[in-house]
Amino acid sequence: MTKIQNETLAQYFDIPLLSDKMNANIELAMNQKTKPPGSLGKLEQIGIKLGSIQKSLTPTIAQPEILVFAGDHGLCARGVSPWPQEVTRQMVLNFVSGGAAINVMCRSNNIGLSIVDAGIKGPKISSSRIIDARVAEGTKDSYSQPAMSWAQFELCIKSGREIARKKIHGGCDLLGLGEMGIGNSSAAALITAAICDVDLTKVTGPGAGSDGTQLEKKKQILLDVLSNHDPSADALDLCRRFAGFEMVMALGAALESASQNVPVVVDGFIISAAILAGISAQPKLKPYCLFSHRSASPGHRYICEELKVEPILDLNMRLGEGSGAAMAIPVIRTAADILREMATFEQAEVSDKL
């Protein structure tokens, strides 16, 4: 594969267009359930979307899985985070041992969980619970150079595609995306500001815990970074310049899932920024995405406004790890069950009109 560009991404991932006729039939089926039309709000919208993606009046979510991609960021050397870069590795070890929030959430809701080393700094972690897709020991410092080369960008897309493909071939019918990487809220802020054409300081939040003087320092560093790059670069080039390996790999997984007619559950700010770049390059990705929750990170609302999407939940969360996806999946499952199992007026012998 040669250098990926916006115009070639559509050729690399053959994402089917959803059928308007199928969508209308599913909406009709939903409206025949024993309830006033629209009375179940977002659940109805989600159910109709799932039916359209699966091309079925009886959609099923039987084997959801969350992929958490982990990687380090060279920009951390500039002091954009109060947390040391070693925390990425330490948290991945916590995932492996089952002690993180995402582990608890997945166990509680019977969701599969896989951890991907996309580019963690330091020696490889020896564990059968980690998918080794390491590109390098973290990205380059994006202060005045791209975070990754085009070759590395393409490798991330390919790796994400292959990981998603294997999961789907193994039975996964709903793919959630999460991330872990100290410094990646900075990457997400840069991508969001450039694509949405919004003031960078408005989309830059505390991330893993910056506040007061530290937050102002972070904003100034990111302003300097943005001024050192071409903000008019296309979406994928912006991703290459600012994103982490974990973000681009998640994008590759999302694109492959859509090409396989599998819905994608998008986590919060960081994953949404990667998906924003993907949708900007390949709009056919958008209908396959379910945005799990409204992140408390300030930049997330600008992404939602740009994409004109309404997240499923609003729990004032900003943890990452795929935690928003894990909390939204039970709602998504229920939406599928409603369309599949709920009786129609005719079946229940209930009058639907006076």
Each residue's pLDDT tens digit, 105-130: 999 999 999 999 999 999 999 999 99
Does the pTM surpass 0.75? The reply is yes
**Residue of 44, 65, 154, 321 with catalytic role:** 321
Q: What is residue 2's predicted lDDT score, i.e. its pLDDT?
A: 47
Q: What is residue 269's predicted lDDT score, i.e. its pLDDT?
A: 98
Are 246 and 69 in contact by the 8 Å Cβ rule? The answer is yes
Q: What domains, with CATH codes, occur in the chain?
A: 64-334 (3.40.50.10210)
Q: How far apart are CA 266 and CA 101, in angstroms?
A: 17
Q: Is 321 noted as a catalytic residue in this protein?
A: yes
Are 177 and 264 in contact by the 8 Å Cβ rule? The answer is yes
Angle at which helix 323-341 crosses helix 42-54, to 10 degrees, equals 80
pLDDT along the chain (354 residues), means of 10: 60 91 97 96 98 98 98 96 94 98 98 98 94 98 97 96 98 98 97 97 86 90 96 92 98 98 98 98 97 97 98 96 98 98 94 70
Any idea what DSSP says for residue 69? Answer: E
Q: How far apart are CA 296 and CA 320, in angstroms?
A: 11
Each residue's pLDDT tens digit, 55-106: 999 999 999 999 999 999 999 999 999 999 999 999 999 999 999 999 999 9
Q: What is residue 351's predicted lDDT score, i.e. its pLDDT?
A: 87
Q: How far apart are CA 130 and CA 25, in angstroms?
A: 42
Q: How far apart are CA 181 and CA 263, in angstroms?
A: 24
Q: What is residue 5's predicted lDDT score, i.e. its pLDDT?
A: 62
Task: List the Cα angle 187/193/197 in 5-degree steps.
Answer: 155
